[in-house]
A and B are shown apart, each in its own frame.
Chain A
Amino acid sequence: MADAAASSVAPAEAEAGHPGPGNLGDRIFNGTLWALGIMVLVVAGLIVLNLALVARPLAKEHSLWGFITSREWNPIEDHFGALPFLYGTLVTSAVSIILAVPVAIGLGLFITQFAPPKLGRVLTIPVELLAAIPSVVYGLWGLFIVVPWLRESIQPWLGKHFGWLPIFTGPPIGLGYLAAGAILAVMILPTVVAVSVEVMKTTPEANREAALALGATKWEAVMMAVIPYSRAGILGAVLLGLGRALGETMAVTMVIGNSPDISLSLFAPGYSLPAVIANEFAEATSNVHVGALAGLGLILFATTFLLNAAARVLVTAVQKGPSRVKG
């Protein structure tokens, strides 16, 4: 059969060897495809180039190290430092990871290991719905529901019982790192769950069944077979979630308090890289100011780029796993 196919292809290819509509069509088609594929690289290049171009006036006044480590954000004297925004972005992302990852892994395990397959499929629907909600709607919900809840219930409770910890000091105003981190946690949950489920599903059944055959309970089979196998992939899922948290703009801007300060307390208002760009870009009056904001954009781009690249390597490594095990 293969022979017959090959021998029927051969005449077509022999035809294609002659100049004619087939060959020209192929050339045009391949050329167009190639151009379209290259567009992706062009877009990537455009992003980096334009960010760098807009950021150039900043480079004239600040060194890279100086920019990253300075706490000053002074548009009057054109002294800019990225530190408060880096801090705020990292803190809110860290809070979101701490809150979301355990829930995401638990949910992933439930969907893939503990729930009957049909229920597992149904359960992914609410997770996908969470992913579809636009950021500004999360911001609205955060501003009018989460912030007052934090201000009136959670923060006073935390302050009363754990106020000796430096992260729970200060007046409960609702807005701040904690609010942003909490909302980010809800927003990155779908990403981490989806990738974790994908990764957990690739655990070879043989490993699980071997554990069960040895008398392990379902949970022990998970701990012995699934988790060790998909560890790298789950890490990849976390990195992807982290990447999303770093770049989230609207929801964070609406609840973080827009204060370029550095504070140990989670109750304090802060600022994040995307939030300051959103607030100030349309209004930055000097080229250095615009350059500083574009510089922040470059930092953001570089960080999410690296995170996503690392995540991709990890996830594909786990997904390629079975072929390595079998071969």
Chain B
Amino acid sequence: MKKLLMGAALLLGTAASAQGLLINGAGATFPAPLYQKWFSEYNKINPNIKFNYQAIGSGGGIKQFTEGTVDFGATDAALKDDQLAKAPDAVHVPTVMGAVVVAYNAPGVKALRFSGETLANIFLGKITKWNDPAIAADNPGMKLPEQTIVIARRSDGSGTNAIFTDYLSKISPEFKTKVGSGTSVNWPVGLGGKGNDGVTGLIKSNPGTIGYVELAYAIQQKLTIAEMKNKDGAWVKPSIASVTAAAAGVDVPADYRVSITNPSGKDSWPISGFTWLLVHKDMKDAAKGKAIVNFLRWALNDGEKMAEPLDYAPLPDALRERVLKTVDSLTVNGAKVSAK
């Protein structure tokens, strides 16, 4: 009986692997809804190629990619220099841009707005009630409840976290020293949620909770979103347009590792960010390497068109051309990859 089982398993195993190509990736939850759509659509066009993407957070994506336990990674926190030292052949391929928004669950309170300092103090745990004078100052004339603020933040290694804390660190020196910025930080307060969906769930189910999530999640789950004051002093709502505006003035370096938080520009959303796919400059597996390169080409051409309906900002054309050239320069065992 057991021999039968083992034999069957081996047979099926070899059969399964002969049938299609399975490419494993892991990483950010920030772009996960869009990536899932991309992989699903790509599989419809190429039924033999399956991309298995696990949204475990940018931290996980970086780690698994560096250790080689996955074929590609995904992160919204660009590799720092010490991380790059461990994965020297990593290439960041920006795919789309997104907004990290401040969402909250305060029944009866609509259209709240926060200045950067107020937000930093809330997440430092210094502002503890919804009707705190600082919040009232940002929202003149609004009736605020006498309720304790419950904070929802990320419990896993997260690029969304990195973008959000990067912004707050730029705004508040106290935040920078006490909490810092990065995929995992020393949060002084708050409920930990796993992934963007975890935080969304926390906000949704607990009145009085405030947290930060990617725009797509907030819109899909109909969370109330706050307006923010940007660097130029204007009050902006998060939107695809405001994210695109944020990227407009920024000089993107050759390796695409750049932060676009707190940019100038009166239409800019202050907590925006790129998200990248991490691939190896020279891939060793011929079949997988070819599939990955051709997928990237498809994503940067056809995939970009699917970004807006899912509330992500596609890359500006000039940047997209640059990225396509970088993708063309990726090699498999030293050789360039032809379009299929």
Contacts and interface: CB of A to CB of B under 8 A. Distances in A.
User: Is any CB of A less than 8 Å from a CB of B in the complex?
Assistant: yes
Interface of A: 72-76, 147-148, 151, 170-171, 173-175, 257-261, 269, 271, 279-280, 282-285
Interface string B158-202: 000000000000000000000010111111011111100000001
B194 A258 contact: yes
B64 A76 contact: no
26 contacts: A74-B185, A74-B186, A75-B184, A76-B184, A147-B205, A170-B148, A171-B208, A173-B208, A175-B206, A258-B192, A258-B193, A259-B155, A259-B190, A260-B192, A271-B192, A279-B194, A280-B155, A280-B157, A282-B60, A283-B57, A283-B63, A284-B63, A284-B157, A285-B62, A285-B83, A285-B157
Nearest to A76: B182
Contacts of B182: 75-76
Contacts of A74: 185-186
A273 B191 CA distance: 16
Contact of B150 (A147, A148, A171, A279): A171
B156 interface: yes
Nearest to A283: B60
Interface residues on B, range: 20 to 34
Nearest to B83: A285
Contacts of A75: 59, 157, 182-184
Residue from the set A73, A75, A148 with the largest chain B CB neighbour count within 10 Å:
A75
Contacts, number: 80
A76 B156 CA distance: 13
Interface string B222-239: 000000000000000000
Contacts of B193: 258
A261 to B, nearest CB: 7
B271 interface: no
Contacts of A147: 205
A269 B208 contact: no
Contacts of B147: 171
A257 B191 CA distance: 5
B186 A257 contact: no
B246 interface: no
Interface string B37-57: 000000000000000000011
B156 A280 contact: yes
Contacts of A260: 192
Nearest to A174: B206
Contacts of A170: 148
A171 B185 CA distance: 24
Q: Which label, helix, strand, loop or mixed, suits the secondary structure of the A interface?
A: loop
A283 B186 contact: no
Interface of B: 26, 56-57, 59-60, 62-64, 66, 83, 147-148, 150, 155-157, 180, 182-187, 189-194, 202, 205-206, 208-209
Q: Which 9 A-B pairs have the closest CB atoms?
A: A258-B192, A283-B60, A75-B184, A258-B155, A283-B157, A283-B59, A171-B148, A257-B191, A285-B63
Contacts of B59: 75, 283-285
B228 to A, nearest CB: 25
Contacts of A284: 59, 63, 157
Contacts of B205: 147-148
Contacts of A76: 180, 182, 184-186
A282 B63 CA distance: 8
B206 A259 contact: no
B194 A259 contact: no
Contacts of B190: 259, 269
A279 B156 contact: yes
Contacts of B56: 282-283
Given A72-B186, A282-B64, A285-B63, 20 more contacts: A73-B186, A75-B59, A76-B182, A76-B184, A76-B185, A148-B205, A151-B206, A171-B148, A171-B150, A173-B208, A257-B191, A258-B192, A269-B192, A282-B56, A283-B57, A283-B156, A283-B157, A285-B59, A285-B83, A285-B184
Residue from the set A74, A170, A257, A261 with the largest chain B CB neighbour count within 10 Å:
A257
Contacts of A148: 205
B62 to A, nearest CB: 6
A148 B186 CA distance: 28
